[in-house]
Amino acid sequence: MAAVSMALFGLSMLLSWLNSTTHVLHAEKLVYNRWVTLLGERPGNRRWIVLGALTLVFVVLLSLFCTGIAEQPTGWAMLGLMLFIRGWEIRQWNRDIVVGLGKYVPSAASLLGYLVTSFLVGWLAPDWNARAAGWHAAAGVLAASWGLAAFAKVRESGMVWVSGANVAVLVRERSYMGPRPVARLRRAVSKMPWLCLASACVGFWGEAAGMLFIFPDLRWGVAIASALFQIGITVLLGYWELEWIFIMLAVAGLSSGTIA
């Protein structure tokens, strides 16, 4: 289980890296274009040379980290590269577009929580299991991320966000894109007020419930529920958030150890 969980963690980190890198490579594209699509397009600039070299370095560092080799230096080096590529991506548009509209980096945030906590525990309490403490901290970071996402909705619009009409508009406008069966499903859902209201409640309270990830006994349940939550968002709204699915499952598996 530990090996599978670490593989999922590595995959989520790689997805996060590619998400930003492909948008830097194709700066002329929309910020929400899927990275998979962009990866298959021919670049119109020579950035691919620099980005290819950085990606190679990132993959080497990620491989070392995932196999337990020099976790602290390789982990911090990865965070440095992700900070660099993320800053490059943001500068192409502006912070409100890239960050404010919801392009987050949960994998990097959880890695930061792991590195800081495992270092401090290894230094201040050498008798404790520093790696276990680090992954528990990573779970706490993800739990807080879900809570902050729910809080952002309240801060921006209040509880009026939990409205069937709001969701109906979102789903309806996305019924003009995607495969025909999915488009028909979205149009049908947008005409059902009760289902749109239920989706709005799940959208808000589901994110708020993500804070339960902080409790070890509930992590697998929350991780599986969050995966289903993201699949529902993909079907109704067309957003692909594979990183969120993989990182929740990865940290749920990695944070099963005891600290003391």
Q: What is the mean pLDDT of the chain?
A: 85
Give the C-alpha separation, 58 to 102, whole Å. Answer: 24
Question: What sign results for the dihedral spanned by CA atoms 244, 249, 250, 256?
Answer: positive
| Bigger pLDDT: 104 vs 22 | 22
Give the C-alpha separation, 247 to 252, whole Å. Answer: 8
> In which band, very low, low, confident or very high, does the pLDDT at 227 lie, cut at 50, 70 and 90?
very high
> Residue 112 carries which side chain, given as an amino acid letter?
L
Nearest Cα to 79, choosing from 30, 23, 16? Answer: 16
Please give the pLDDT value at position 119.
95
> In which band, very low, low, confident or very high, does the pLDDT at 143 lie, cut at 50, 70 and 90?
very high
Nearest Cα to 239, choosing from 96, 24, 101, 34? Answer: 34
CA angle 80, 213, 109 (to 5 degrees): 10
Mean pLDDT computed over 99-126:
86
Please give the pLDDT value at position 48.
82
Please give the pLDDT value at position 97.
57
> In which band, very low, low, confident or very high, does the pLDDT at 103 lie, cut at 50, 70 and 90?
low
Please give the pLDDT value at position 141.
95
136, 137, 139, 143: CA torsion to nearest 10: 140
pLDDT at 100 exceeding the cut of 60: no
68-77, 130-139, 146-155, 226-235: least confident range: 146-155
Mean pLDDT computed over 178-191:
85
Please give the pLDDT value at position 12.
95
pTM score, whole prediction: 0.86
